[in-house]
């Protein structure tokens, strides 16, 4: 977490950056088998069978394969027959960690049918020593690609660390 905060501080201080409105990013570390089981742990759980939802609150951690998502609150929505997951809505400040990348945002919405994860609100993506910020990022978990939109800012470290 301190690495992400340090990177965010560097973004504000470094004059060398690229700004754009829309950026395509390779996030191979966030590529995921979207049919893998989903494990959720939390301090509390409220189930609403009428609406087909489960609300996890307090130190929520969601794990699917190598992908780990943490947030204060996660709403899981099931299909009408409650036989499969439809979507997941994480709010209150979200941290997403994969083997090669880490991301932070205010909110994350995961659509299980499309394998799409949408991060919104002050998005910060770190890949090694490089960092990107934007207003939103749409991640295709099936192929490991992402699109960042809304005043994208990049801090890229040349190889060799100079």
Give pLDDT, residue 145.
87
Q: What is the DSSP letter of 28?
A: G
Name the pLDDT band for 22 (thresholds 50, 70, 90).
low
DSSP secondary structure string for all residues of 36-69: S--EEE-SEEEEETTTTEEEEEEEEEEEETTEEE
Averaged pLDDT for residues 38-60: 96
Name the pLDDT band for 20 (thresholds 50, 70, 90).
very low
pLDDT in tens, 136-158: 999 998 888 889 999 899 877 77
Closest alpha carbon to 14 in 101, 149, 133: 133
pLDDT exceeds 80 at position 3: no
Q: The domain 17-155: what is its CATH number?
A: 2.60.450.10
Domain boundaries, the chain: 17-155
State pTM to two decimals. Answer: 0.78
Specify whether the CB–CB gap between 112 and 136 falls below 8 A. no
pLDDT in tens, 93-124: 999 998 888 999 999 999 998 999 999 999 99
The rounded mean pLDDT for the chain is 82
92 or 14: which leads in pLDDT: 92
Please count the other Cβ atoms lying within 10 Å of the Cβ belonging to residue 100.
Answer: 16
């Amino acid at each position: 977490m301190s690495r992400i905060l340090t990177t965010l501080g560097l973004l504000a201080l470094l004059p060398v950056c690229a700004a754009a409105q829309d950026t395509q990013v390779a996030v191979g570390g966030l590529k995921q088998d979207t049919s893998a089981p989903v494990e959720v742990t939390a301090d509390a759980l409220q189930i609403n069978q009428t609406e087909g939802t489960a609300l996890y609150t307090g130190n929520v951690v969601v794990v699917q394969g190598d992908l780990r998502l943490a947030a204060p609150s996660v709403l899981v929505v099931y299909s009408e027959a409650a036989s499969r997951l439809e979507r997941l809505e994480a709010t209150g400040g979200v941290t997403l960690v994969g083997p090669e990348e880490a991301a932070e945002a205010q909110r994350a919405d995961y659509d299980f049918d499309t394998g799409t994860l949408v991060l919104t609100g002050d998005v910060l993506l770190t890949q090694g020593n490089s960092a990107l910020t934007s207003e939103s990022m749409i991640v295709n978990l099936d192929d490991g690609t992402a699109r960042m939109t809304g005043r994208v800012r990049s801090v890229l470290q040349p190889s060799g660390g100079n």
